[in-house]
Amino acid sequence: MAAAPPNDIRDEELLAAVIADLIGNARHVAVGNASPVPATAALLAHARGGGRPYVSLLGSRRQFFTDGGVELFDCAGQGRIDVFFLSGGQIDGEGNINLVSIGDYYHPTTRFPGSFGAGYLYYVVPKVILFRTEHSRRTLVPRVDFISAPGVSPANVYRTGGPFCLITNRCLFGFDRNRRRFHLASVHPGHDVAEVIEHTDFEFDLPDHVPVTRAPDPESLRLMREVVAPELAEVYPKFAADVFGVGRAA
């Protein structure tokens, strides 16, 4: 029986704390648009690290980019961004992501917003953390219908970046670039291995023992709620209000 999450910890806080740990000792973390949980994680890592890593949030005053995405791509290509976050309508077992469409390309059943710079950033940012809050067989598939950004490349392709892990609402997968596949690293409180297997449509490695994802410690919770949340409210006011109560009328 899976351990239940502590009653006073929101799912978003758990995920953000896990991602903050994954960021590690990075120098510069960049967060794209519509990414409130990764933004929370990056700001938490910054608060815990006493000002390191530097965090750039697109759409916020907290960035040194003066030309938006263009400058983000330049910085990444120069090796000046250590961590970035990507997601997709579909993600497969080789770390390929689909941001374009589902079904036949010329007659799709679903259209997504598009790849933007995903293909490029996936190649040049050393640690790309994949993030998907819907962990289901329709999102985690054996093979994506369209490869917006490949998880791995042929041996003769020079590539400094790629997937580091995949975190979902159910678990954390690590990624082995040499073996071109995921392994189950931990299962979040309130979930279990059988549930992860049931809702994942790609094959992955399963160790003999799968730990429960560590819940955020009291200091991380305090920093998220008292320091990070007010900063988030600038870019994600609804998220900050719903999760942390920031800006909500008394």
Of these ranges, 50-64, 110-124, 174-188, 233-247, the one predicted with the greatest mean pLDDT is 174-188
pLDDT for 191 beyond 80: yes
Domain edges within the chain: 11-244
pLDDT of residue 70: 79
Residues 6+ apart with CB under 8 A from 235: 36, 39, 57, 59, 60
Measured distance CA(17)–CA(105) in Å, rounded: 38
DSSP strand pairing (108-111 vs 140-141) = unpaired
Q: Directed axis angle between helix 36-48 and helix 11-23, to 10°?
A: 60
CATH architecture of 11-244: 3-Layer(aba) Sandwich (3.40)
pLDDT of residue 101: 95
pLDDT for 62 beyond 80: no
Q: What is the mean pLDDT of residues 219-244?
A: 94
pLDDT of residue 159: 93
pLDDT of residue 114: 84
Distances (CA, A) of 186 to 27, 35, 142, 146: 26, 22, 21, 29
Least confident of 60-64, 190-194, 214-218: 60-64
Closest Cα to residue 58, out of 91, 82, 36?
A: 36
pLDDT of residue 1: 45
- Asked whether the beta carbons of 30 and 53 are under 8 A apart, the reply is no
Least confident of 107-116, 140-149, 194-203: 107-116
Alpha-carbon torsion, ordered 92, 169, 131, 41, to 10 deg: -160
